[in-house]
Amino acid sequence: MTDETKEKLNEIKRSFRLMMNGPSSQSMREKGLDYKINWGVPLPMLKQLAREYGKDYDLAIELWKEDIRECKILATLMMPVDRMLPEITDLWMEQTPSQEIAELAAFNLYQYLDYAPVLAYEWIASGKDLEQICGYCILSRLFMQGKEPNERGINEFIDQAITAMQCDSMGVKHAAATCIKRFAGLGEEYETMVRKALKPYHLDFF
């Protein structure tokens, strides 16, 4: 780490004390979001901080290494999309500590990667809760952008989503159900496809 990056990192960590929200942090802990350090800083303030520093690969890498909620979120906001290599993405996913970070990483960063669809299909089939949630969040964003999967992708997605909506994890169920709705929103043909696929399982989300 260069001296400049180290100084920026320390500067950012010091700033959290000024932005901290005790009640928010306590509420997150009560809901099971148990980070080593959580200042409870609201997302709009973190986004503003990220804009002030701009995209910075080295700083994003160092921020992610910190076991601090706010650092993880800033890392997803500051990482330049064109420098987020697949091996870094895999590492970050392995080190993702919570559903909140998984969802924000998908929204702030992963949906914009060139290989986002490949990543998403790999993760929804992984059997790991956070990977599945992240994968469905990515696909939801892609469907909202009007990006349509090919026939093979459609069949794979619907099969995985139906399985996910019947699993024990509420987070995975919700992410898959939301994603199915986004998929159906691509057009009448897609909605009909979804209704037909869900009917035998009594999974009508419309």
Q: SS3 sequence, the chain?
A: CCHHHHHHHHHHHHHHHHHCCHHHHHHHHHCCCCCCECCCCCHHHHHHHHHHHCCCHHHHHHHHHCCEHHHHHHHHHHCCHHHCCHHHHHHHHHCCCCHHHHHHHHHHCHHHCCCHHHHHHHHHCCCCHHHHHHHHHHHHHHHHCCCCCCHHHHHHHHHHHHHHCCCCCHHHHHHHHHHHHHHHCCCHHHHHHHHHHHHHHCCCCC
Kindly state the tokens that stand for 17: 């004390």
* pLDDT per position as a tens digit, 68-78: 999 999 999 99
First to last CA, the chain: 51
What does pLDDT average to over the chain? 91
* pLDDT per position as a tens digit, 113-147: 999 999 999 999 999 999 999 999 999 999 999 99
pLDDT surpasses 80 at 57: yes
What is the structure's pLDDT at 152? 86
Phi-psi region of 187 (alpha: psi -120 to 50; beta: other; left: phi over 0): left
Residues 6+ apart with CB under 8 A from 102: 93, 96, 130, 131, 133, 134, 137
Question: Residue 78 in contact with residue 47, Cβ under 8 Å?
Answer: no
Residues 6+ apart with CB under 8 A from 34: 98
Name the pLDDT band for 1 (thresholds 50, 70, 90).
confident
Between residues 75 and 25, the one the model is more confident about: 75
Residue count (the chain): 206
Rounded mean pLDDT, 148-172: 93
pTM of the predicted protein model: 0.91
pLDDT surpasses 90 at 22: no
